[in-house]
Amino acid sequence: MRPEILFPIFKPVTALKGVGPRLGQLIERLAGKNLVDLCWHLPTGLIDRRFRPTVAGAPDGMVATLTVTVDEHIPAPNRRQPYKVLCSDETATVSLVFFNAKADYLEKLLPIGMERVISGQIGHYGAEIQMPHPDHVVAPDKVDELPAVEATYPLTTGLTAKPLHRAVQGALAQTPDLPEWQDGAWLAKQKWPSWRAALFAAHEPGGQAALEPDDPHRRRLAYDELLGNQLALAMIRNAARKRAGRAINGDGGLRRMLAAALPYELTEGQRDVLHEIQSDMAKPLRMLRLLQGDVGSGKTVVALTAMLAAVESGAQAAFMVPTEILARQHLDTLSELCGDLPIRIQILTGRNKGRPRLAILDDLADGQIDIMIGTHALFTEDVVFKDLALTVIDEQHRFGVHQRLNLGDKGLAADILVMTATPIPRTLSLTVYGDMDISLLHGKPPGRQPVDTRSMPLSRLDQVVAGVQRATQNGARAFWVCPLVEENEQLDLAAADERHATLARLFGPGQVGLIHGRMKAREKDAAMAAFVAGETKVLVATTVIEVGVDVPEATIMAIEHAERFGLAQLHQLRGRVGRGAQQGHCLLLYAEPLGETARARIAIMRDTEDGFRIAEEDLRLRGTGELLGTRQSGFPTFRLADPLAHQDLMEVARDDARLILEMDPDLEGPRGPALRALLYLFERDTAVKLLRSG
């Protein structure tokens, strides 16, 4: 249960005075549904109201605070015209302009003949000085209520600054004084205030410096969030480790047969990571290991070797992937590699229905299936293994931490190997995979040539199409990826349909395939199969082909509107070509003029194929929020911390979390209750439940 002290800030935003359902919906869309979400919605700018010129001396476009006398009200002649209130000082007259105004309200706010202090943006229209909709109007004796420096917040359509500001202040007023969870010596060394004082200070910036990530109040709040994250991950890791694992020691027979059947030697990198994985599996503790390998580094063979170790020991292995296309492709790859091995590999996806599905489930429960490949369908309750010893999860960021543990629970504390081809900077891997050991797979299998990467403007599209046409006539195959259209699936689809129709006209009947996320699984499989078989020469696609698709014959990757993609996505897409003996070519087509970030991104793609360098550059260029493309889920989004700016704090938080749990694994010592409150504050409730469940 959430501690009672936190109840006030976990009320819905509609509990605030003046926040009804309509306003509540807008605030929820912008910041979140509870008062605590408003507390985390920090200002990004400020308005300085300390500039107090005369009316005549107020410059156009500046925010100014003026002391004036109210002279005259001029009501609007019709609904389209504004209501004006003329005010003056000894130097000039200013018109206060109000649209859709209520006369009685304005007469009360600005009584004729009275002095008022007004603050807002000045506009000069010919000879007239105006202040449209002043931000503040107060009587001279209430001038202390006028903020000298006022924070400004990110807004959303339909939500203006004033009601949001009031809501944030209302949420802050509800914040309790919480017990201190930080280590006393560390806190003193940093000279940080209490959590509540830091929160109030962050919402009341005194100048530009207070908005920067290195402001002490913001660093304090960032560290709180990072500590909550690292503590939760460490607790999940401890809970997973507590469950007795099993030592998996096969006789090596199947692995030797596989090595003999491979048409190539394993690389040094593959041998190194296999040694780490197999050493983990041989221990009686549960393995939780991440295998990070760049595009095309040979992770699948490593995973298969690990799964064969489980099968040798008389147990089963599961191989989970995010899409059906990928599941079917892995089935083909693994079946080919294991052609002469005495094992049975099967696939289970959402498409398996009725009796055929039941037959597969019966075989799985009887232990007749050694390796089961599947999508999310493997999570369902009716999927029961006879003896699951190892779960391999491909492209983990498509699944959450708890899903990966859930699948591990289908076996007797099954070992878990997670794989990703998305290189993640070390800073971020701590936040995402802090509960796992990490193996890095460097190098590529022999014979792979670098992909020739070029960029050109979309104005040369005709030349590109002609070039692709010539290449396909000589036996090449090409992917043509359509743009990401502002996260709008409908528009993505329209772009892909349109490009498919154009290319189909040019290349002739049956030469161009189409694949996108809205197609039925059978249609996608058929389109992919036709491309793999060479029946179609060009495959037009949305980013559905980004991860893992393996067509060694494909040598051309054309990416339209490359400037709209993140570096990690461009790198993933480029990795789909040049996987066979032929050299791959990647064409980045961009719309002019190119922005500075897009230009830098495309330059990096031309300069390097090193996924880890690309990931670091992506983090630098785009920040963490978008690092892996907004469509990819599973990554924690921080509200207060910036893993790039607060990298030093991330390292400290990880060490602090480890130390806390070494000294007080159940959080029952002096700092325990405060640390539990911290976990609940940042909604890491699941981690707290693990304390109880052991």
Residue holding tokens 């991950």? 233
Q: Which of the listed residues 603, 622, 641 is the one where a domain comes to its end? A: 622
Q: Looking at per-residue confidence, does 110 or 515 come out higher?
A: 110
Beginning with the edge strand found earlier in the chain, give each strand of the sheet holding 437-441 in spatial order. 345-348, 371-374, 316-320, 388-394, 415-420, 288-293, 437-441
**How many Å apart are CA 177 and CA 249, to the nearest integer?**
54
Q: Looking at per-residue confidence, does 316 or 612 come out higher?
A: 316
> What would the pLDDT profile of 553-564 be if each residue is shown by its tens digit?
899 999 999 988
Task: Verify that 458 and 423 share a domain, yes or no.
Answer: no
Residue 217 located in a structural domain: no
Task: Verify that 23 and 51 share a domain, yes or no.
Answer: no
Task: Verify that 552 and 483 share a domain, yes or no.
Answer: yes
Among candidate residues 149, 167, 162, 198, the one with its CA nearest the CA of residue 28: 167
What is residue 21's predicted lDDT score, i.e. its pLDDT? 95
**For residue 546, pLDDT beyond 80:** no
**For residue 663, pLDDT beyond 90:** yes
Query: To the nearest whole percent, how much of the chain has pLDDT over 70?
Result: 89
Q: What is the CATH number of the domain that holds 536?
A: 3.40.50.300
DSSP string, 15-71: GSTT--HHHHHHHHHHT-SBHHHHHH----EEEE------STT--TT-EEEEEEEEE
H/E element, 255: helix 253-261
Average pLDDT over residues 367-390: 90
- Give the C-alpha distances (Å, rounded to integers) separating 615 from 341, 429, 569: 38, 11, 10
Q: Looking at per-residue confidence, does 29 or 492 come out higher?
A: 29
Q: What is the CATH number of the domain that holds 79?
A: 2.40.50.140
What is residue 551's predicted lDDT score, i.e. its pLDDT? 81
Q: Are 168 and 62 within 8 A, CB to CB? A: no
> What would the pLDDT profile of 638-652 be if each residue is shown by its tens digit?
899 987 788 889 889
Average pLDDT over residues 574-603: 89
Instruction: Flag the least confident range among 48-52, 346-350, 522-526, 674-678.
Output: 522-526
- Give the C-alpha distances (Å, rounded to integers) separating 393 from 82, 288, 404: 62, 11, 8
Residue 372 located in a structural domain: yes
What is residue 486's predicted lDDT score, i.e. its pLDDT? 47
Among candidate residues 479, 487, 488, 497, the one with its CA nearest the CA of residue 572: 479
> pLDDT tier at 627 (50, 70, 90 boundaries)?
very low
Task: Verify that 468 and 568 share a domain, yes or no.
Answer: yes
Task: Verify that 537 and 393 share a domain, yes or no.
Answer: no
Q: Are 551 and 578 within 8 A, CB to CB? A: no
> What would the pLDDT profile of 308-334 be if each residue is shown by its tens digit?
999 999 999 999 988 888 888 899 889
What is residue 634's predicted lDDT score, i.e. its pLDDT? 40
Q: Looking at per-residue confidence, does 425 or 197 come out higher?
A: 197
Mean pLDDT of the chain: 87
Q: Are 690 and 235 within 8 A, CB to CB? A: yes
Residue 643 located in a structural domain: no
Task: Verify that 35 and 52 share a domain, yes or no.
Answer: no
**How many Å apart are CA 89 and CA 356, to the nearest integer?**
87
Q: Are 61 and 122 within 8 A, CB to CB? A: yes
Task: Verify that 342 and 301 share a domain, yes or no.
Answer: yes
Most confident of 30-44, 497-511, 623-637: 30-44
Task: Verify that 468 and 361 share a domain, yes or no.
Answer: no
Among candidate residues 594, 583, 609, 561, the one with its CA nearest the CA of residue 464: 561
For residue 285, how far is the Cα from the chain centroid? 31
Task: Verify that 340 and 466 share a domain, yes or no.
Answer: no
Encoding tokens for residue 478?
């090409």
Among candidate residues 275, 283, 338, 290, the one with its CA nearest the CA of residue 311: 338
Q: Give the total number of structural domains in the chain.
A: 4
What is residue 386's predicted lDDT score, i.e. its pLDDT? 94
Task: Verify that 357 and 465 share a domain, yes or no.
Answer: no
Residue 653 located in a structural domain: no
Q: Looking at per-residue confidence, does 405 or 296 come out higher?
A: 296
Query: To the nearest whole percent, how much of the chain has pLDDT over 90?
Result: 58
**How many Å apart are CA 557 and CA 588, to the nearest integer?**
8
What is residue 410's predicted lDDT score, i.e. its pLDDT? 61
What is residue 619's predicted lDDT score, i.e. its pLDDT? 72
Number of helices (H), then strands (E), in the chain? 23, 22
Instruction: Flag the least confident range among 135-139, 180-184, 541-545.
Output: 541-545
> What would the pLDDT profile of 235-269 be if each residue is shown by its tens digit?
887 777 676 678 998 999 999 999 999 888 899 99
What is residue 494's predicted lDDT score, i.e. its pLDDT? 66
Q: Which of the listed residues 422, 441, 460 is the one where a domain comes to its end? A: 441
Average pLDDT over residues 516-525: 81
Instruction: Flag the least confident range among 14-28, 367-381, 481-495, 534-548.
Output: 481-495
Encoding tokens for residue 462?
């005709």
- Give the C-alpha distances (Å, rounded to integers) separating 554 from 210, 461, 540, 582: 52, 20, 13, 9
**How many Å apart are CA 333 and CA 503, to the nearest integer?**
30
> pLDDT tier at 579 (50, 70, 90 boundaries)?
confident
Task: Verify that 494 and 589 share a domain, yes or no.
Answer: yes
What is residue 603's predicted lDDT score, i.e. its pLDDT? 93
Residue 99 located in a structural domain: yes
Encoding tokens for residue 137?
């109007």
Cis peptide leading into 593, omega within 30 of 0? yes
Residue 223 located in a structural domain: no
Residue 671 located in a structural domain: no
Q: Which of the listed residues 441, 462, 496 is the one where a domain comes to its end? A: 441
Task: Verify that 33 and 93 share a domain, yes or no.
Answer: no
> pLDDT tier at 288 (50, 70, 90 boundaries)?
confident
> pLDDT tier at 489 (50, 70, 90 boundaries)?
low
Range of the domain at 65: 47-152
What is residue 485's predicted lDDT score, i.e. its pLDDT? 52
Residue 224 located in a structural domain: no
